[in-house]
Chains A and B, each alone.
Chain A
């Protein structure tokens, strides 16, 4: 209480209501769905080309789509089944994407009967001697089709292959999970700490880093103590180079640039990537997936998500990629009455979906249902309270960017550094006049990008 009062005199950090309802729920394995929809673009990069055609039978883990481009990620089938269609389908990102639709071989295989699913959480732990070259790790990660599972979906094997002239000193494991409601990263750390630590070790070996920092928020003290204990137990020399750093739990602690600044005090220059400062930042879930791909040669076919908000049962689920939102919500008991929004991801940066038949993709970290839509439909006038300016993690001036965007003055937007915006959403969140700054900033950023490409 006293801290809250005294925070009026310190730098304005915005503390959102965390609503981490599912932070003590064990990860439940959801039974395999009857049908999966797999968009051909679940990564940053060009769309994939299918390697199968309609009518083919596929096995679980089989490669079904690939691309020639370096910045891309392979796609594998999550279930045994038959390809029934390859066509455009709506996705949770709001656009229609060409997708492969697979129907399971034996339907209702898990409902009511013994779960024949081979996946479990976590996979049994196997020690690895860590005598593996960085090229081997990069190729195993590439074969598994792993992308950044925090939401950005950047192909991980590209991240683990930094340019030859950049010396990497530190790997930062992003365990912040600052978004309200989401608890999947937290549960992975509690239920699979050894996997996470080994995954981090593989990352360090792949980029040849000297040390690593596990950056974790204060609201996850149970995970911190488990990780510390396991670091002590694991015998290899590399684990002595990993340090744990506790950070205050405010939003957006997990934003990459702010995280690097909080861990090392260095400011990432605008337009450059972390490897320019000798750092690599990776998500916890990605680290778990890397362990699976290196030790068990398992491709990325499932992921942990958090289903929270106004659903009957709030859970952390291990789901197959391509499962539809409707199936997952039904598994959690259905929506509470009066739900007005279903969000893919977290409430600050996620996208709201218009129908529940969209699939889970690699970057979907949660399904949040909200009943009372607290944003206002009517916008009032700006009263120059400067809350947006005080809360921006990039120290931008959102009210000016909003006005310039509305007036289409893109030169002035660039003057005020609009492209440095990380789209965290705090400007719209804090505005007392309910102005939607982020909507206009996102629009202008896209238009400026299109203009510069011409």
Chain B
């Protein structure tokens, strides 16, 4: 039997690859965020859905423009841009005007990500850095928190931001119930409120080995333990209130801006925890997660230097 000689490809070993790709990683994170996203739409109405869509759209348009102008690549959908957009949308109040939201996305993609080197090279978490930018640029709009619009018919279906609704401070300032902060039936940023669904999403990511458990566990445990020393706070309430859960599972575990080794991630989590508690207790801001993680992002190269692995067969070297 004379079969034509096959054209064989030649390359260096290994000749097989794992099916996991960068895009799949980000897809898994989006799946993990989906329950909390749907819950936020349930609590805050159709405008919440509009916020997500506008956020994703503006991030993708910005990414496409940057890719075309700077890298000469034509892309329509960017998984990392979409993920940044979703995370940014989840840490701002549900009354944000759409233009400010779009501006925040452009800042995150263009300045924080691409001006620092593009995918894989940025120092700061784009969503958190953009939120910090919005905090100083639009202090009024970024703190206009409202309670859930569940029982207000016209409020839920309204297509415009409910800025004329009665604002209520977040659970960190004004005490709410423990079940409220856990299930999310309280005022707060769009996606931060439901601790339960965020924890479920985080556990899903750990079990599918998308993130390592060291950072979230050390971060939350540090805050929990330190809360015992702060008078007037109940530790369990303290960890569920505010943006700690979403920060610990989704922001502090961002691959690009966190340390490489597991020991380094552990140190990173502890550092974030300490800074969060300090900012929450001693500063004039009620929420410390955003700035704590950003400060630890800056320490990341130093942590990497001091947590190098001991190679098999070598003694530990002092650096």
Interface residues of A (CB under 8 A from B): 5, 8-9, 12, 16, 94, 180, 257-258, 261, 267-272, 334-335, 339-343, 347-356, 368, 370, 373-376, 380-387, 389-390, 393-397, 399, 416-417, 420, 423, 425-426, 428-434, 436, 438-439, 442
Instruction: Indicate if the CB atoms of B309 and A352 lie closer than 8 Å.
Output: no
The 9 sampled A-B contact pairs (Cβ below 8 Å) are: A347-B14, A349-B13, A350-B13, A354-B8, A425-B14, A432-B22, A434-B21, A438-B12, A442-B12
Q: How far is the CA of A385 from the CA of B20 in the complex (A)?
A: 12
Q: How far is the CA of A180 from the CA of B18 in the complex (A)?
A: 13
Contacts of A429 in B (CB 8 A): 14, 16-18
Instruction: Indicate if the CB atoms of A356 and B11 lie closer than 8 Å.
Output: no
Instruction: Indicate if the CB atoms of A340 and B261 lie closer than 8 Å.
Output: no
Instruction: Indicate if the CB atoms of A380 and B17 lie closer than 8 Å.
Output: no
Instruction: Indicate if the CB atoms of A393 and B9 lie closer than 8 Å.
Output: no
Instruction: Indicate if the CB atoms of B15 and A352 lie closer than 8 Å.
Output: yes
Among B3, B8, B9, B312, point to the contact of A394 (Cβ < 8 A): B312
When C-beta atoms are compared, the residue in chain A nearest to B80 turns out to be A383
Instruction: Indicate if the CB atoms of A257 and B213 lie closer than 8 Å.
Output: no
Instruction: Indicate if the CB atoms of B14 and A270 lie closer than 8 Å.
Output: no
Instruction: Indicate if the CB atoms of A395 and B255 lie closer than 8 Å.
Output: no
Instruction: Indicate if the CB atoms of B9 and A270 lie closer than 8 Å.
Output: no
Contacts of A354 in B (CB 8 A): 8, 10
When C-beta atoms are compared, the residue in chain A nearest to B300 turns out to be A384
Instruction: Indicate if the CB atoms of B313 and A267 lie closer than 8 Å.
Output: yes
Given contacts A353-B8, A353-B10, A356-B5, contact A394 B311 (CB under 8 A): yes
Instruction: Indicate if the CB atoms of B13 and A438 lie closer than 8 Å.
Output: yes
When C-beta atoms are compared, the residue in chain B nearest to A396 turns out to be B311
Given contacts A348-B16, A438-B12, contact A432 B256 (CB under 8 A): no
Instruction: Indicate if the CB atoms of A348 and B14 lie closer than 8 Å.
Output: yes
Bits for B203-226, please: 1 = Cβ < 8 Å to A, else 0.
Answer: 000111100010000000000000
Q: How far is the CA of A180 from the CA of B13 in the complex (A)?
A: 13
Instruction: Indicate if the CB atoms of B313 and A420 lie closer than 8 Å.
Output: yes
| Distance to closest chain A CB from B199 (angstroms) | 15
Contacts of B279 in A (CB 8 A): none
Contacts of B11 in A (CB 8 A): 341, 352, 375
Among A347, A433, A434, point to the contact of B16 (Cβ < 8 A): A347
Instruction: Indicate if the CB atoms of B20 and A430 lie closer than 8 Å.
Output: yes
When C-beta atoms are compared, the residue in chain A nearest to B117 turns out to be A381
Contacts of A395 in B (CB 8 A): 309-312
